[in-house]
Structure 1
Amino acid sequence: MALDQIHDDVAALARDYNRTSPTEVYRRAKELLEIARSALDRTQVPRQRTQAYLAAGQSAALLSAISFDLGFLPSAVSLSRTAALYGQVIEHGPLQAYAHGALAFLAYWNGRPSESIRHVREAQSFGGLGDTALIRLNVIEARAYGHLGNREAAEVAVRTALEQSTGRRDELHDGVGGEFSFPSDRVAMSNATTYLLLRDADGAEKAAEHALFLLGSKPEDQRPLLISTQASVDLARARLLRGELDGVQAALGPAFSVPAEWRGAGTLERMAAVRAGLCHRDFSGSTEARTLGERIEEYSAAATAHRLGAGTPLMAIES
């Protein structure tokens, strides 16, 4: 019964991930990981150990995701490796695929896109994966190729993700879902970033607008703030590539209203790219560009201060 409760609690946290403050997600995920590990110490029954390993692996995966959002990349990498290891122990394909997909994502964030491709290939080799898992991996692959500047391979990966439709499901990406899922709005948001890496303003704008349309069709309390904010900033970046300063300001409006604790690493990296773009010689002497750039600096500084205030417990993550 205790293991069933852990499973239910992990699933609930995954589904509430985008509607729960990042620091609270961190606290709850860390607590669940500790409970699952404790259960492993208290039973030698094979079925129960499998349940405990699965709960521990899912908790570690969620803890990795929130560690990234809070800006702690080394901890995120360590925890994804932990999740992959637990998945390997119980031969759970979807958990291993999710963890290796996260490692692929973290690899290109750390400037190693070729390593990212290798992680994607390994993740795709695991059995029992449904469409959602494969879509997620193809989207990550597209981003990695975008970082490598390989337009043809990136576009193939984008198309493969959009065309994936066999009807297969798996118990993690689809059964648990939530943060483990990868819905169409998230696909579109990530594809916008890939097009930006390829310097394709039109493709990026179309994908970002599609993401925002899909998000806007959801009830307000079901819209993932992290994803919608990133899509808004990517829309601004696409317009910036074309020199449309008014369009940049309009796109950034929703992002500027996001509280500091919800300004994840993905948002801040995108904002930094906008700030850098505003320093281009095309905008030299523009009061509007200078004012917008200063506002972005203040926005990012407030988020950084919040992270530093929450940093001490995060650095103590057990991996």
Structure 2
Amino acid sequence: MEVIVLRQLAEKRDLVHYASFIRVFEAAAREVGHTDLTVSDRQWDRWLSGRMKGLPHPRAREVLRHVFDRPATELFRLVDVLAPPCGDVASGLQDLPSEDRAKGLYELMMDAADRSREAAGDAELMLGGAAMEQLQDNVIQLARTFLQRPPTTIFPELTTVRDHIAARKSRTRKPAQLGELNFLSGVVTALLAEACIDLGEITMARHHARAAWSFAISIDHVPLAVHARGLMASSSYWAGRPREAVMAISRAEEHRPTGLAAARVQSIAARAWSHLGDTDETMRAIRAATEARAEDQGSDELQMIGGVFLWDEVRQRRCFSTALLQLLHQRGDDFETAAVRRFTGQVLTHTQQALDMAQALPTDERSQMVEATIRIEMATALVLLGDLPGARECLAVALRLPADMRSLPVLHRLVGMRTRLAAQTGRAARQLGDDVAAFVQGSTVKALPAGS
């Protein structure tokens, strides 16, 4: 029989059990300067199995060498060990002399007792209350500050917290704690999806959103499952695949969301339908979102976390203005002048109300990115009405947004305006177009390499 050298050394030091190993591994990681490095229980099992292809990444190899004093090339080498003739311990004992058989049986009983003690300890494993509270506080803080921070700085923090949650799942057997850790995992992966959308990495956003949905389903958490489906729809929408967004919305509706969860789903649906140029479905979704908000009972756990999970009226009205502007972009030439002016007037109403509410929020809750997107949509409506001076004045504050906060949703909202400006002549149109072009060109997000 072949086993991996790593397993043999781990057995000698009583480190095969993950809870014992991870304490030693993380302490060694800190000693060699990798303070954020950890390993999941699944990864540890793969290492011990001997079925890995290749070697762990360099930082993990360095820590393993520090723990076992052997290079990774030796640790992950398979070696032969003696096995009982018939393939199991019991039948092997029968072939021994009576004295040795008794000794072997005693050792087997001792080993079985040791394993039972370990199993009993595993059953009682639980994280301390302080550790759980710290994880919860970290996740809530990230959610509540998400809209105020650049995606380039918050993304690394999210990955670190996600890894810490994953590592701690193996340290408890309490169902309530495991359920809470799965909930926190779902929240963090949903935040990773949001950050990927901001950074323009739509495919990665879908992977994170699907993971968030899986965590939600594992604990029957309907609001989180609905939120994750909404993220799948949003990522499809921003990727220019509105039919996929509509399909994701239909899957979200299978969870029968109510209140603000339903309002968010229908608001995203309005944007998706507007990209398909379907006026009737866009307006139906806007009405459904408005009705769902009016019926909200205020019991959604995600809404209580707040921050990016809080579907407030600011973001809902911004969704409405986004959908109406997209309809004008898709179908403007088909509409009569009166219809164009009516829709444009509605955009101005929604954006003005959204901006007033956004500016009324406490300073630490206001978001430069959110307010910039509202101003961009307001300015686009003014361009449609031919008020270029008014559009430039409205846009001036938005164009001061820092380079690392010019996210994909911010830049994407300028597409319609640039199209309209390109069709106009005159100095005012050219000047406004130059201002917008310089803003886009200076974006950190736009400068990120593909696949980064």
| TM-score normalised per structure 1 | 0.91
Query: Does the CA-based 8 Å contact 2:202-2:235 persist in structure 1?
Result: yes
Partner of 2:276: 148
Query: Does the CA-based 8 Å contact 2:369-2:401 persist in structure 1?
Result: no
Partner of 2:406: 263
Deviations 1:275-295 (A, max 9, x none): 221111xx22x1221122112
Alignment CA distance shift 1:311-1:12 (3 Å): farther
Q: What pairs with 1:1-319 in structure 2 (closer than 5 Å)?
A: 1=129, 2-126=131-255, 129-164=257-292, 165-199=294-328, 200-280=343-423, 283-284=424-425, 286-303=426-443, 306-307=444-445, 315=452
Deviations 1:128-164 (A, max 9, x none): x451111111101111111111111111211121222
Deviations 1:80-101 (A, max 9, x none): 1111111112221111100000
Equivalent-residue separation in structure 2 for 1:105 and 1:309 (angstroms): 22
Structure 1 regions of 5+ residues with no counterpart?
Answer: none
Partner of 2:339: none
Equivalent-residue separation in structure 2 for 1:16 and 1:210 (angstroms): 23
Query: Does the CA-based 8 Å contact 1:230-1:267 persist in structure 2?
Result: yes
Equivalent-residue separation in structure 1 for 2:151 and 2:324 (angstroms): 28
Which one has the bigger helix percentage? 1
Secondary structure, counterpart of 1:103 in structure 2 = helix
Secondary structure, counterpart of 2:352 in structure 1 = helix
Cα offset for 1:12?
1.5
Higher mean C-alpha deviation, range 217-226 or range 140-149 = 217-226
Equivalent-residue separation in structure 2 for 1:220 and 1:42 (angstroms): 40
The aligned amino acid for 2:173 is: Q
Query: Does the CA-based 8 Å contact 2:406-2:445 persist in structure 1?
Result: no
Secondary structure, counterpart of 2:322 in structure 1 = helix
Deviations 1:234-287 (A, max 9, x none): 01111122222112112211111111111111110112322221111xx22x12
Query: Does the CA-based 8 Å contact 1:101-1:140 persist in structure 2?
Result: yes
Equivalent-residue separation in structure 1 for 2:302 and 2:184 (angstroms): 14
Equivalent-residue separation in structure 1 for 2:186 and 2:136 (angstroms): 11
Deviations 1:64-117 (A, max 9, x none): 101111221121111111111111122211111000001011112222222212
Structure 2 regions of 5+ residues with no counterpart?
Answer: 1-128, 329-342
Alignment CA distance shift 1:116-1:17 (3 Å): same
Equivalent-residue separation in structure 1 for 2:320 and 2:209 (angstroms): 23
The aligned amino acid for 2:208 is: L
Equivalent-residue separation in structure 2 for 1:88 and 1:277 (angstroms): 44
The aligned amino acid for 1:258 is: L
Alignment CA distance shift 1:79-1:253 (3 Å): same
Query: Does the CA-based 8 Å contact 1:22-1:261 persist in structure 2?
Result: yes
Cα offset for 1:48?
1.9
Query: Does the CA-based 8 Å contact 1:173-1:182 persist in structure 2?
Result: no
Equivalent-residue separation in structure 1 for 2:435 and 2:354 (angstroms): 25
Cα offset for 1:167?
3.7
What number of residue pairs does the alignment pair up? Answer: 308
Secondary structure, counterpart of 1:149 in structure 2 = coil
| TM-score normalised per structure 2 | 0.65
Query: Does the CA-based 8 Å contact 1:130-1:170 persist in structure 2?
Result: no
